[in-house]
Structure 1
Amino acid sequence: MAIPVIEPTESPTWYTDAEKYWDTVPATINGMLGGLGQLARPDAVSSLRFLSEFVTPPTSSTASSIINPSNTKSESGSGSGSAAVSTKRQKLPLPGSGPSRVLDCGAGIGRVTKQVLIKAFDHVDLVENSALFVKQAKEEYLKSEIESGKVGEVRCSGLQNVMFEGTDWERRFDVIWCQWVLGHLTDDDLVAFFNRCKKGLKQGGMIFIKENNAKVGIVIDEEDSSMTRSDQVWKEIFAKSGLRLLRDDVQKGFPSGLFAVKMYALEPMP
């Protein structure tokens, strides 16, 4: 008699298995990048260039020393053919919306916050599932940024449990940034998360995704309880979630042999 196969994402331990894995990872830059700490700079540069098409950084930001607008087009990857849409969209923050605010989802110790988001926005909040990483962010890695007021709340929660409506985070953010974390959410929880995110965005706000891409379908990693979705699967989920894709781009400068990494800029459909 054949033994029924349970899809990993249907396992009752899907999320707790991921928590156990991340509890074994050092709370360092190298740990956040799976032992590939050398990827931090090319990752940050590409992210800032991608953001620069949609976000005007604070006047006090050092982003201009990292972003070279003349190179932005040459960095473009496969694209979605929607670059023309992005050029017509008014950059964030929109007039009258106040200081720019971003939420860093699955923030780890705050690497992306420190190396990217603080340079592009006035204020950053973070949400991270690992209590160990939250402690490191608060007490060491982001201590000075918290004391200066650039970093606000560092919330400990899995994204499947994050709520916006009826909280301090309702209509708070110009941008919600998700990087190398959404593979831990099942498809149903991912769609539900995106729909909740809409309640966290200001008028005209956007969602940015940066994730590994499988060539075809979905690749399951049972070690860290995650999945790597293909570009086609991502776009199907965006459509199902009521998100319009404005632009996508491929990360450059990573070693061969790794999954391709793509960045997606999205906005809620009317």
Structure 2
Amino acid sequence: MSGNIFYTKAAKYWANVPATIDGVLGGYAHISDIDIKGSKAFLNDILALKNAPGTKLALDCGAGIGRIAQNLLIPRFGKVDLVEQEERFLAAAKKRISETNERLGSLYNIGLQNFIPQKKYDVIWCQWVLGHLDDFDLIAFLKRCKRALNTNGVIIVKENITSTEEIEYDEEDSSVARPYKLMQLIFNEAQLNVIKEDEQDGFPSDIYKVYSFALVPSELENRPFVLTL
């Protein structure tokens, strides 16, 4: 499938999805609290590193209606920018978080395949969205994110992982789920090192396993990332 068709089909799918938690989570709104709890624990560990990222500015990629920004990032960061290609979702996120919330930063209405960060971020959070990028665009996107990291900045990826060694394509929403080894290859190609990873627990058995990865530029591989005791 060509890239244009891949992205066009996804855009058409999301254009018809309700701007609700159940909508953006594909009918799995009941796992949202479990997901946020796991993400908070993972983020807490990253922010406890000896050379921890700052907490001034975070970026929520594929922000949807602001579920992650509101419940995870805004309580921990001075400002949070959102990037989301579906305009209805961004409007819902703005309303959800409240236009008067001074921690809500810039809103970017664009697909990640075309997004070029213009700021330096302490944490860039990418969850349940990278499956909408083909491998080539995903590597390019991660490289752009790497260049947009502030000192000690970290990219956090939280995504579905297949139980096989094969890529699995979802015809309905035009996305892919990748195997663990392919994700590692993509990170390596983007010159990113995994400094921490966790499997999300507590999810139903009928959905994909979900892994969180904390990534830093590979040229910093000798930097002593140590969890404080």
| TM norm structure 2 | 0.91
Asked which structure has the greater CA Rg, the reply is: 1
CA distance, structure 2, for counterparts of residue 163 and residue 238 of structure 1: 18
Does 2:174 match 1:225? yes
Q: CA RMSD in A?
A: 1.3
Structure-2 change in CA distance of 1:41 and 1:100 (3 Å): same
Letter in 2 for 1:244: N
- After superposition, the C-alpha distances for 1:123-143 in whole angstroms (9 at most, x for unaligned) are 1000001011112122x2122
Does 2:104 match 1:151? yes
Alpha-carbon deviation of 1:217? 2.0
Alignment of 1:95-110 (within 5 A): 100-110=56-66
Alpha-carbon deviation of 1:155? 1.0
Letter in 2 for 1:91: A
Letter in 2 for 1:176: I
What's 1:237 paired with?
Answer: 186
Alpha-carbon deviation of 1:32? 1.4
How many residues align? The count is 218
What's 2:137 paired with?
Answer: 189
CA distance, structure 2, for counterparts of residue 157 and residue 122 of structure 1: 23
What's 1:92 paired with?
Answer: 53
Checking the alignment, whether the CA contact within 8 Å between 2:127 and 2:159 is kept in structure 1 is yes
Alignment of 1:25-44 (within 5 A): 25-44=17-36
**Could you tell me the percent identity over the aligned residues?**
42
Alpha-carbon deviation of 1:11? 4.6
Checking the alignment, whether the CA contact within 8 Å between 1:178 and 1:208 is kept in structure 2 is yes
Q: Which ranges in structure 2 are unaligned for 5 or more consecutive residues?
A: 220-229
What's 1:75 paired with?
Answer: none
Alpha-carbon deviation of 1:234? 0.4
Letter in 2 for 1:18: A
What's 1:141 paired with?
Answer: 96
What's 1:67 paired with?
Answer: none
Structure-2 change in CA distance of 1:108 and 1:189 (3 Å): same
Checking the alignment, whether the CA contact within 8 Å between 2:79 and 2:104 is kept in structure 1 is yes
What's 2:13 paired with?
Answer: 21
CA distance, structure 2, for counterparts of residue 233 and residue 217 of structure 1: 9
Alignment of 1:108-147 (within 5 A): 108-138=64-94, 140-143=95-98, 146-147=99-100
Alpha-carbon deviation of 1:148? 2.5
- The 3-state SS of whatever aligns with 1:141 is helix
Does 2:151 match 1:206? no
| TM norm structure 1 | 0.78
Alpha-carbon deviation of 1:49? 0.3
| Runs ≥4 residues deviating over 3 A | none
